[in-house]
Structure 1
Amino acid sequence: MSISLEKGQRISLEKNGQQLNKVCVGVNWGAIEKKGLFGGIKKVAVDLDASVSLYSASKDLQDLIYFGQLVSKDGSIVHSGDDTTGDLDGDDGLDNEVITVNLAQVPANVNFVAIILNSYKGQDFATIPFASVRLYEGTPTRVDQVVANYNIANDAKFSGAVSMVLGSFYRHNGAWKFKAIGEPTQDKKLEQLVKTVATSYL
């Protein structure tokens, strides 16, 4: 049974008393539908970018995994690749981008692993018909068990925003935990978002 994440919620990454070290973060979204000139429906591609930023205990950026760098420098985090359209034929239930995180291999100098999302073309989150993120056990092509999910569609607070912080993994007493954040930011570009995470959300 998965948890529907709410802002500020913290979850323990344990299963049967054991640390859950390998998890996937999947993001699913749809193309925007607009009425055409002659009454038809036109599909407008949506390019959302899921990224992961790694920070030290002092909140200094250590690495950034995004569409331009699909694997972390140490190999512990792998991005499935850039999806530049979203689901064109309605929600197929599959993730458009998946980031695999092997927490056991994250370097000791990294204390925070933040999951962030931005709209590459500056398309307002509020105009996207559906968008959700889920944290699960499995692989990019197989979902074994959904640990938690977060629905970011149709929430008024995202109106006008093109960047958001989904949540972060953090070390606590030698174990990894996850904190749901789910907050839009005023940033327009990924570089700005990465800095905002460090100053306001860790």
Structure 2
Amino acid sequence: MAINLEKGQRISLEKSDGKKLQNICVGINWGAIVKKGFFGSKTEAVDLDASCALFNDAKELEEVVYFGNLKSKNGSVKHSGDDLTGDMGGDDGLDNEVITVNLGDLSPITTHVAFVLNSFRGQDFGSIPFASLRVYEGTPTRVNEVFAKYNITGGNFAGHVSMVLGVFYKRNGEWKFNAVGEPTRDKKLQETLETVKQQYL
């Protein structure tokens, strides 16, 4: 059964059968903005960008996997590609962007794998009808077991265009997950990653 994560919650990466997760996917699902006017409603595309940053134990940024770099150097992290619109016809239940991570294939010096979300066109998170994060075992097109779900809409997201979704971190050789779920004042990906380095590693 999936864990409904709360902001700041930390969990170990253990499946229902007690085995540790190795091949994981982080999927982001979001909707387009529906604006109601005098002559009916209009749907406005939303371009959110999920990115994954790898850090070593010294908090040095190793590399970033995002829409402009879809695969890490050794292939352990992969991005499904850029979604420029979000769900235009309501929630279809499918992830718009998926980042896959093989924890076993990461470089031995990688100790933190951070996931962030940025609104490319600067559309306010508070105006997006729905957005969620889920961690699961499988592939971008096949879900074997949903490990955790995290709702990233509502609350204090209004007025922000950038947020830290969560951080996988390695302690004593074991991977764990911290569901951060915090908006930041940053406008660009590079700024968001600096916030991750300063506050969440």
Q: TM-score range by the shorter chain?
A: over 0.9
* In 2: Cα distance, 1:122 partner to 1:197 partner: 19
| CA displacement at 1:172 relative to structure 2 | 1.0
1:199 paired residue number? 198
Moved over 6 A (4+): none
Query: CA offsets, 1:113-146, max 9 Å, x none?
Result: 0011010000000000000010001110011111
| CA displacement at 1:156 relative to structure 2 | 2.6
2:5 paired residue number? 5
Matched, 1:112 2:112: yes
Tell me which amino acid in the other structure corresponds to 2:81.
G
Matches within 5 A, 1:147-186: 147-153=147-153, 155-186=154-185
> SS at 2:186's partner residue?
coil
User: Could you say if the C-alpha distance between residues 156 and 17 of structure 1 is closer, same or farther in structure 2, counting changes exceeding 3 Å?
Assistant: closer
> SS at 1:196's partner residue?
helix
Aligned residue pair count: 200
2:80 paired residue number? 80
Query: CA offsets, 1:55-74, max 9 Å, x none?
Result: 01011100100000000111
Matches within 5 A, 1:1-202: 1-15=1-15, 16-36=17-37, 38-153=38-153, 155-202=154-201
* In 2: Cα distance, 1:179 partner to 1:35 partner: 37
* In 2: Cα distance, 1:14 partner to 1:3 partner: 11
Query: CA offsets, 1:2-38, max 9 Å, x none?
Result: 01111221111123332210000000000000123x4
* Identity between Structure 1 and Structure 2 (%): 62
* In 1: Cα distance, 2:163 partner to 2:59 partner: 18
* In 2: Cα distance, 1:145 partner to 1:18 partner: 12
Q: 5+ residue gaps in structure 2? A: none
| CA displacement at 1:181 relative to structure 2 | 0.4
> SS at 1:63's partner residue?
strand
* In 1: Cα distance, 2:186 partner to 2:74 partner: 28
Tell me which amino acid in the other structure corresponds to 1:113.
V
CA-atom RMSD in angstroms: 0.9
